[in-house]
Homo-oligomer: A and B are copies of this chain.
Amino acid sequence: MANNGANELLLSQSLDPAAPKAKRQLNKRRFLRSRSAPRAPELVPPETNDYVSIPRSEPIFGNLHPSFKKVAICLSVYLGVGAVIFYLVGKQIKGQKTNGVLDAVYFTIVTMTTVGYGDLVPNSDLTKLLACAFVFSGMALVGLILSKAADYFVEKQEILLVKAMHLRQKIGPTEILKEVEVNKTRYKFFLVFSLLLVLIIAGTIFLVNVEKLEIIDALYCVCSTITTLGYGDKSFSTQAGRIFAVFWILTGTITLAQVFFYIAELNTENRQKELVEWVLTKKVTILDLEAADLDEDGTVGAAEFIIYKLKEMGKISQEDISLVMREFEQLDVDQSGTLSISDIYLAQPS
């Protein structure tokens, strides 16, 4: 019903473009419902806003986000193939060995993360070329984890963290979501930084107790590993050490990379905030008004002002505007400068 009213309103105005603005003002707010534009469900880049777990019926990766699922499958396949191949060519790999399968997985992890200790090294042309193939694909895979899965994972934990931090204040879920939204990157940074510290401490304790390293050597091995430096003079040589290493190296290297990533993001956000601040506080001049008058009707409406300011902030470009403007002109059949229902019916015959 409200919808029909809107139709009539838009229709009548489109037929009478010279209708006085005062009358239109009176009619305003009559049919308004949703202000938010829907997004294309399958086309939205996963890193922007769709970290919502979609319930599915699949058994293994059931409650996971599609792109996270993709990463998990890629990682499993990569490690599986790596384990089988390097197990089969195990005799062509020289160095400190423990258990055949374990060494193959450990070698795959050390290679894909580019740690490359050198405690196990390829010893034939075949294994050397295999190592080259695995390091390139491993780098791509780590990039995929960093761009898709890591951020998603942190995002999920973030809400739990903020909830836990405000447990005593008894704030509602809406406030928590708002708090998370405003300081998103800051929370994410603290979260991965804390995880990094835990991993560093856990790694050091493990190396001291299981691999029997001195404390400085253990810390040095930890730093050399998570940064993927991997000189290789200190590494995991026992069976227990390598089981630990398989999980610890992958999480450690990715967590450190993520810490660096969030630092860069915080920097960019701060610069962006400064720019927004500058754009919003600087004086609006007559020249600004002239330049902002997009439809060239001699006045600057709210929407025109918003476009002008967002352009100043660098959020949108002239190209973006021109692109949509062309669609607008095609839709505006009666060339009234505004879109009405009759316009869209005439422009898009179904």
Measured CB to CB, the residues of A under 8 A from B are 3, 6-7, 9-10, 13-14, 17-22, 24-25, 27-40, 43-45, 48-49, 111, 114-118, 121-122, 125, 128-129, 131-132, 135-136, 139-140, 143, 147, 216-217, 219-220, 223-224, 227-233, 260, 264, 268, 271-272, 274-276, 278-280, 282-316, 318, 320-321, 323-325, 327-328, 331-332, 337-341, 344, 348, 350
Measured in the bound complex, the distance between the Cα atoms of B301 and A292 in whole Å is 14
Do the beta carbons of A227 and B306 come within 8 Å of each other?
Answer: no
Do the beta carbons of B21 and A280 come within 8 Å of each other?
Answer: no
Do the beta carbons of A274 and B43 come within 8 Å of each other?
Answer: yes
Q: Which of B22, B40, B295 contacts A303 (CB 8 A)?
A: B295
Measured in the bound complex, the distance between the Cα atoms of B150 and A155 in whole Å is 30
8 examples of A-B residue contacts, CB within 8 angstroms = A20-B21, A28-B298, A30-B298, A45-B271, A122-B233, A131-B220, A131-B224, A230-B230
Do the beta carbons of A216 and B40 come within 8 Å of each other?
Answer: no
Q: In the complex, which of the residues A219, A275, A310, A341 has the most CB atoms of chain B within 10 Å of its own CB atom?
A: A310
Output the nearest chain B residue to A304 by Cβ-Cβ distance.
B303
Q: Which of B20, B114, B228, B337 contacts A301 (CB 8 A)?
A: B337
